[in-house]
Amino acid sequence: MYWILNPIESFFQNDRRDQDNLLVPEGLNEKPFEDDTLREVGQRAFDVIHDRCGESAETKDGLKEIIFSNTEELIKLYNGLVKLWNPLIAEGRLQLLDRDTGQLLKELTPLVVDIKKFGSLYEVETSIWFMNDIVETLALRSGDFEIPYDREFVAAIFTLIHVNDSTLGHLYSDCQEPNAHSWAVRWFEKLEGYERTVKAIQASQKRNSKAKSETMNLARHARRNEAFGLVTKDWNGRRTDFRSAEKAGQYYADWLSERGFEFEPRTITSWIRKFAKENNIILR
């Protein structure tokens, strides 16, 4: 990897020249240029990396070392997950489709790559993108939604690589790819898409939980009203059998229990007092 865009002069606020938000290419003869899309995603990517790595990200060499060293860590992460997932694939508990053939994969192949070779970062990116898809699916399926690594940092690394590469299209028009911006923005769009999905699921769960709670409350009220009616009807027909509302409450607690209702004696006593007051009945 080599810098086509100067990431420090383009994105690091302490060292940026007065470029009116222009992107600064490498080379003395290259002129700063304007590209709002690359500026926005490149700035976000740099800010994320700088937030995580501090002063190490404040030089071009330091930034390159961050990209290479963390790419190596991503390879280790991928291979660790492959070791975890392959037994699940063999047992049929995890089903993954081959992106080229559309057939079910029998196993995942560990990633072995020399990251210093030309094109190796894109090879790693392809595997990490696939890994992200699997992790997202498993997280959504489990309902936990937590991702076991810093996905924003991963997105920032590959985004900065693509922003750097997209600079070629501005310097040499014949190098411009039709979908150059789509590569630069896709990682953060992936993150935002996952967050929208999680929020939508959580909102649905909240609505369902509220509806279930309301249904249960209605059911509890209905049972309470049914028990209230049974007690007051029976008590009103033989209220002289009870020395007090408290004694009646104790009796009807057992009486209701035999009929599948569970209420405290003091609750039933309050029902009897309420019924008596509403019907002008004088309690003893």
User: How is 24-55 classified by DSSP, letter by letter?
Assistant: -BSSTTPPPB--HHHHHHHHHHHHHHHHHHGG
Q: Supply the pTM of this predicted model.
A: 0.71
Q: Is the pLDDT confidence value at 73 over 90?
A: yes
Select from 114, 148, 176 the last residue of a domain. Answer: 176
122, 152, 176 - which closes a domain: 176
149 and 13 fall within a common domain: yes
Nearest to 9 by CA among 52, 51, 39, 48: 39
Percentage of residues of the chain with pLDDT beyond 70: 94
* Domain-embedded: residue 139: yes
Q: Does 150 share its domain with 225?
A: no
Is 186 inside any structural domain? no
Measured distance CA(200)–CA(195) in Å, rounded: 9
Long-range residue pairs from 253-260, CB within 8 A, at least 24 positions apart, any chain: 255/231, 256/227, 256/230, 256/231, 259/230
pLDDT digits (tens, 9 = 90+) for 129-140: 999 999 998 888
Q: Is residue 26 included in any domain, yes or no?
A: yes
Asked, for residue 237, whether it belongs to a domain, the answer is: yes
CB 50 within 8 A of CB 58: yes
Domain count, the chain: 2
Specify whether 112 is located in the same domain as 223. no
Check whether residue 165 and residue 222 sit in a common domain.
Answer: no
- For the stretch 162-216, pLDDT in tens is 999 988 877 766 555 556 688 899 999 999 998 888 888 878 778 877 777 878 8
Residues 171 and 224 in one domain: no
Q: Sign of the CA dihedral 201, 207, 209, 215?
A: negative
Which structural domain, as residue segments, surrounds residue 248? 212-278
Residues 218 and 270 in one domain: yes
Residue 192 belongs to a domain: no
Angle between helices 245-257 and 180-237 (to 10 degrees): 120
- With tokens 């990517």, the residue in question is 45
Q: Quick one: average pLDDT of 89-101?
A: 87
State whether 31 and 169 are in the same domain.
yes
